[in-house]
Structures are given as C-alpha cells and as structure tokens.
Structure 1
Amino acid sequence: MTPTLSTIHVYPVKSCAPLALDEAVVEGRGLAGDRRWMLVDADDAFVTGRKFPRLTLVVAHPQVDALRLDAPGMPTLRVEVPDAGSARVDSEVWGAAVRPRVAADSAHAWFSDFLGHPVRLVYMDDGCARFVRAKYEGRYGRDGDQVSFADAFPLMLISQASLDALNARLEVAVPMLRFRPNIVIAGTTEHAEDDWKRIRIGAIEFEVAKACTRCVFTTVDFERGQFDPTGEPLRTLIGYRRAPDGVRFGQNLIARGRGIVRLGDPVEILEDA
C-alpha cells in the first residue's frame, strides 16, 4: 500500500485551535499561515498552552491582511495584520530571538480578557527571521533554514499507525490533534517515520530533520481547554517511547521545495535514516 497524505492542519496562532485544510502552500517557514502569530506576556516572553490551556479554545481564521478570532463567551474580533509602521518587540521562542510586530490594542485586550492574564498578540512578518540552526547550533538543517513560531522546526509529521499503536495501549483513545501535527500520513506501519531521512509528498521533497520530543502540552484536552487529569497520553508514552532526549512521537520536517500539498498526495520514501 502506498503511503498517502491523510490530513493537513495549520495553527494560525501558536497554541490556539487547529484548522483542517484540503491543501496547503509549502513555504520556507512551513505551511502558509501556520504559527505566524503568538502571544507574549508583560515581560515579552512567549506564551503557550502549557501555561494557559484555554488557548486551545481560540479559533483563528486567517483572512486577507487580517485574522478573525472567536472563542467561547467572547465577541468575534477582526485583527488587521500589522503594517510596516507597527512597532516590533524583542522576544524569543525556546531561546531563539525573534522581533515580531505588535498587533492592535484591541487584540491584546481580547486575549487578556479571555485568559484573565495580560498578554499581547504579535505577528511574524517577512522581516522577522528565526533560524533553525540558532536553536540547534548547526546540528540540523542548513544555513538559512527558517521556522515560524512553531517550537523548533517548520513542519511536524506523524503516521496514523503510530497513533493507532498508542491508542491500543490507552484506556481512553486520544485524537491525533493532541500532538498538533501539520501532516498525517496513512498507509504505513507504526513509527515508520522514525526510519525516514528524506521523503516526497506530491511533488515536494522534505528533509526529516529530527524526532519530535513531547511535553505536557500533549495532555491538554484541546476541546475543553483543560489538562487531562490522567496525565495521558504522555504517561503511557513514557513507558515505551522514551529516549535520552525525551519522549519521541512524530518527526520534524524541513521543506526542500515549494508548492502545494493536497490530501491524497502519495508519499515516497526517498532515503532512509
């Protein structure tokens, strides 16, 4: 059976709700519209669902030069993409410095009201560069490889078989989106992606850069915006997917081409690890 691309998701605001797509544009920083916005706190430190799980209830819809925000109990808000005259803020994502542009005050107030904590919304424009190698000291990728506000790499992939194998071990199955992948591949054996080094999806090649190590964010029930009191699925993963660098589940990708990927695209393994 030929592996195929079975789902595509983007997360317009870091830690907020996923959007399912039938196709996506592959750019240097990842899929178009994926994690180009994030929140910072009063100290300009980046904010995620690890601290505020309610963020997963916020649905952000990219529009032309704007973002539409919806959340339970909140009015719909349209936020314009900051223009070239907007201020920048000095922040970082896991140690990698970034200088995003600051969104309108209305966005800050909206998110602060929803979270009950003062935050600001910021945007990654073309002038806000974040390099993969800055975090990993040249161990992964190539000079010039960039990434969005995602934790470490431009894209993340998981095979459906890997989730199925995990759910077979759990008392209560978890959905794939607990792991926030961009791309899910059907038609493989469990954890087949661990052995890939280079793949092609449709017409676009990707480097399989590094296994994705998992954290407490996997225990957030994104449909309720709360931590799962059982500590699953991380508790079970620790039992059989633990490695020296952490609990591994899924693989991080760097695109080596540009174009469009679509649901149903064949996946070709070009080089094994």
Structure 2
Amino acid sequence: MGTVAALFRYPVKGFTPEERDELVVQPDGRIEGDRVLAFRFASAVEPERVDGLDHWPKSQGLALMDVPSLARLRLAYDAESRRLRITDGSRVLVDAGLDPDGRREIEAAVTDAVTAGPDARRLRGAGRLPLRLVGDGANARFQDRARGYISLHTSASVAAIDSLVDVPVDDRRFRSNIVVSGVPAWDELTWGGVVRIGAVRFVVSEPIRRCTAIMANPDSGERDANLLRILTTQFDQAAPTLGVLLLPVEGGGVIRVGDHVEVE
C-alpha cells in the first residue's frame, strides 16, 4: 500500500529531530531514544500520575506550542557519551554532558537563549524558573501522552497543506516518528485495526489532534502560518487533525526506511 519514506526521533522534547534509517520500537509502545530528555519548569520536575502511569504535560515545560523559537536551535545528542550540543546558527550555545555540572551549564544556556528571544514572556510566570533538564538520556519518558504512542503521518497529507499556503510546509512541522509515502492524502485517518510496517504490527489508536506547535517554522522558529485554521477550514475538519497514533501489537521490533506499509 505505502512505503516508509522517513523516520525520526526527538532526543530532547521540543528540539531538533534526528532523522534515522531505522527505529527500534519498544514493547511499551515508544521509540528507543525518543524524548529521553526534557526541560521542565521549576514547579513541575516530578511527573503527574495518569491511569497509573507517569505523565509529563507539555504545558509544564519547554514545548514548541508555547515557545516556537526553540525550532531555530539545532541540537545534537550523543547517546553513547550522554552529551548535548546546542547551536544557534554558527554560535555554539552549549556542549556539555549530563553530569550535574553539565546539566547546570545546559540549563543556563537554554534559559539564556529563551529569555533573550521573542518567547521570553513564557518564562516570567510563577514557578517557571529555574528550568530543569530532566531525564536520564536513555529512557523514553516525555511523550505528550502518558501511554506514550508512536506517531505517523503521510507525506501526501503534508503536501496537501503545503499547496495551500505561501510558506514552506514539510514533515518537520508535525514531528512524527514515521512518514509514509505512496498513499493518498488523509488516507491514514481512515485506517483502523492493525497496520503492518515491515515486520512490526501496530494497532491504530486514534488520530492526532494538532496544537500550535505546527505553526512554528522549523528553520526560523517563527509562527508563519495558521495551519490550525487551514486544517479546519480548508479540509472540513471539526478539529485540526493530521496523522495517527500507534501501539505495537506485541513485542515491538525494528522498522526501517523503505519498509512496506499495509493495513491488515
């Protein structure tokens, strides 16, 4: 039916994706190495409990929906050495490990970057500062939903939006783990039951309702297109929706670029 065109994981929530040739799907329904770190507000460094699971609401830390300027920063994470490097253009903001001193250096650099930019007001509320870098750099914990989930959209759906706006719209705005080509626009919203990607079978859980994060230009960090309105007015959606959430049927496995995608 379709083919995996691209795969992404996001080591630090809200920051630069890593494009990968393959991803490891964990049995718990998350991608290995995905959202293993996050910047949390001072008042929210412990998780909430939802249905017996840890949950870290994105509203209580740095996220693109409230801090679009994060998109212009470029992040590289070395999972083996547990080291973060963040740049803004040609300027290195920080290059440090996850030891206590390194974390303090990273927290200070990111705080300075946000407070010096257009989204500084987001850090002025009570309980916001100091920012804290949480996570061990290995375990996927900071997905938007307590259950985790793996996200997928089709390239044709993104192309349909791109054709209606004057600014470039590509897959990066939607921050999915899996991008599928070779199927019609919005086809993923009709999938039900089980979808097989390579050798891994997934249950299609629900469509992804989108937030203002998709309005952030992934190069400039500016909100340059009201894509939420485009989705509801131009595509007759009751709520702005693109892509679906998946959970592995059993055991997880490895998915690769070029894998065949089929709805069973």
The TM-score by the shorter chain falls in which range? Answer: 0.7 to 0.9
1:78 aligns with 2:77: no
**Greater relative contact order (Cα < 8 A, sep 6+):** 2
* Residue of 200, 204, 225 corresponding to 2:200: 204
* Residue of 75, 80, 87 corresponding to 1:59: 75
Deviation at 1:149, TM superposition (A): 1.2
1:104 aligns with 2:116: no
Q: 1:178 to 1:259 in 2, by over 3 A?
A: same
**Does structure 1 conserve the Cα–Cα contact (< 8 Å) formed by 2:64 and 2:212?**
no
2:188 counterpart SS class: helix
Query: Counterpart amino acid of 1:193?
Result: E
**Normalized against structure 2, the TM-score is what?**
0.78
1:33 counterpart SS class: coil
Deviation at 1:75, TM superposition (A): 3.8
* Separation in structure 1 between the aligned mates of residue 113 and residue 133 of structure 2, nearest angstrom: 13
**Does structure 2 conserve the Cα–Cα contact (< 8 Å) formed by 1:216 and 1:234?**
yes
Q: 1:223 to 1:159 in 2, by over 3 A?
A: same
**Does structure 2 conserve the Cα–Cα contact (< 8 Å) formed by 1:74 and 1:114?**
no
* Separation in structure 2 between the aligned mates of residue 19 and residue 125 of structure 1, nearest angstrom: 14
Deviations 1:222-244 (A, max 9, x none): 2112221xx33222112144555
Deviation at 1:55, TM superposition (A): 1.8
Query: Counterpart amino acid of 2:68?
Result: P
* Separation in structure 2 between the aligned mates of residue 222 and residue 59 of structure 1, nearest angstrom: 13
Shift >6 Å, 4+ stretches: none
1:71 counterpart SS class: strand
* Separation in structure 2 between the aligned mates of residue 218 and residue 200 of structure 1, nearest angstrom: 27
**Does structure 1 conserve the Cα–Cα contact (< 8 Å) formed by 2:96 and 2:103?**
no
Deviation at 1:173, TM superposition (A): 3.6
Alignment of 1:221-260 (within 5 A): 221-228=217-224, 231-241=225-235, 243-244=237-238, 246-256=239-249, 257-260=251-254
Q: Which residue of structure 2 lines up, in the alignment, with residue 34 of structure 1?
A: 34
Q: Which residue of structure 1 lines up, in the alignment, with residue 190 of structure 2?
A: 195
- Structure 2: gaps (5+ residues): 45-59, 116-122, 124-129
* Residue of 164, 174, 181 corresponding to 1:179: 174
Query: Counterpart amino acid of 1:263?
Result: V
* Separation in structure 1 between the aligned mates of residue 29 and residue 102 of structure 2, nearest angstrom: 20
* Separation in structure 2 between the aligned mates of residue 224 and residue 171 of structure 1, nearest angstrom: 15
1:167 aligns with 2:179: no
Deviation at 1:37, TM superposition (A): 0.8
Over aligned residue pairs, what C-alpha RMSD do you find? 2.4
**Normalized against structure 1, the TM-score is what?**
0.76
Q: Which has the higher strand share?
A: 1
* Separation in structure 1 between the aligned mates of residue 108 and residue 168 of structure 2, nearest angstrom: 37
| Residue-pair matches, total | 228
* Separation in structure 2 between the aligned mates of residue 226 and residue 185 of structure 1, nearest angstrom: 27
- Structure 1: gaps (5+ residues): 83-101, 129-146
**Does structure 2 conserve the Cα–Cα contact (< 8 Å) formed by 1:219 and 1:227?**
yes
* Separation in structure 2 between the aligned mates of residue 103 and residue 204 of structure 1, nearest angstrom: 38
Deviation at 1:125, TM superposition (A): 7.2
1:12 aligns with 2:24: no
Q: Which residue of structure 2 lines up, in the alignment, with residue 220 of structure 1?
A: 216
